[in-house]
Amino acid sequence: MPITAPLRGRGSASNPANRFAPTRSESDAQWQEEVPVSIATEIQEERSTTIISRNTSPDIPFDRSLNPYRGCEHGCIYCYARPTHAYWDLSPGLDFETKLIARTNAVELLEAQLSHPSYRCAPINLGANTDPYQPIERQYRLTRGCLKVLLRYRHPVTIVTKGALILRDLDLLQALAAQNLVRVFVSLTNLDDGLKRILEPRAAAPAARLRVIRRLHESGVPVGVLCAPIIPQVNDTELEGLLAAARAAGADSAAYTLVRLPHEVAPLFEEWLQTHLPQRAAHVLSLIRQCRGGKLYDAGFGQRLRGEGPFAELLAQRFAVAHRRLGFKRGSELPALDCARFAPPGRQLALF
């Protein structure tokens, strides 16, 4: 799909072929079709065979995750999960944010996997790939269903979101928190509504995310902030302000990551820069390359989250100073979620 203008409510302006596509098509300017002003969201339903994903990444603080949805309507242009849409022969561009897949048997699959005799308890992360509280959760309620299962079996869970819909499930989160079974991380990338509208078009507004932090904190639900990603010359100047606002709202922990541009995300991000910030585009890309050994992305563990070089080192120093000044807890100071409470279904049923 050719670029003509930014699409209303969408992060991508095009729909490039995924990296596995056997053929590529190019538009002929003579026959170029007009791009619509907006594109409606389509939802497909999938019956999955498994729901808990495993990873062995040394720079990720969990070894398992759960994603009820494929694709994400929030449309964040920088999203490192965009390339996963290629596995379903869909584009990491507009398809990722308009052609969503709801894994309708997620709740029953989770219960079955937790019931397996070989299962060993460790915190599950909700939102490692796509946001569990994106808009279609209002209709499918798969995240809420999974939380009910986790509460019933007293299984610990961490949640990452930039969706205000999480407050709908405050009853479940409070019940989990009362047993030290949950920690929420709210992703906060900027405090500028104008930037949010083009960077993360269908995610909650910055003020709404701060309200989420405040409500969770006041309700006794442990909550931290993720300033992720930090993008040079796009939102890096806001780092200290983001941390201060989140701390004032009640966040007790904080982390950040440098923007990651794997596979098809890099050209999509370059396209976004040329569309929305053309005068800054070259400088932004130059700084990213300086942090990635001359490339737009380095997948090496450790380096992929923080980068290297003077700019990355300065960013790390700024974060460390603000983190200490604002009184955030360090990771080692946060209480570990309680895995000892886990009650496998068979054992639980035997009590009655």
At 210 the pLDDT is 98
Residue 9: inside a domain, yes or no? no
Query: What pLDDT is attached to residue 31?
Result: 45
Q: What is the DSSP string of 66-81?
A: E-SEES-TT--TT-TT
- Where does residue 333 rank: exposed (0-12), middle (13-18), buried (19+ CB within 10 A)? exposed
Supply the pLDDT for residue 25: 55
Note whether residue 30 is domain-resident: no
In a domain, 29, yes or no: no
Q: How many domains does the chain divide into?
A: 1
Q: Is the pLDDT of residue 349 over 70?
A: no
Q: 149-193 pLDDT, tens per residue?
A: 999 999 999 999 999 999 999 999 999 999 999 999 999 999 999
Q: Is the pLDDT of residue 260 over 90?
A: yes
Distance CA 153, CA 225 (A): 27
The whole-model pTM stands at 0.92
Does residue 17 belong to any structural domain of this protein?
no
Tell me whether residue 15 is in a domain. no
Note whether residue 351 is domain-resident. no
Query: What is the average pLDDT across 317-329?
Result: 98
Q: Which domain holds residue 252?
A: 40-346
Residue 23 lies in a domain: no
| Amino acid found at 80 | Y
In degrees and rounded to multiples of 5, residue 143 shows phi and psi of -65, -45
Q: Give me the pLDDT at residue 250, please.
A: 98
Q: State the pLDDT at residue 146.
A: 98
Per-residue pLDDT tens over the stretch 18-54: 888 765 555 555 444 455 567 899 999 999 999 999 9
* Cα dihedral sign, 118-121-126-127: negative
Q: What is the CATH number of the domain that holds 329?
A: 3.20.20.70
Residue 4 in domain: no
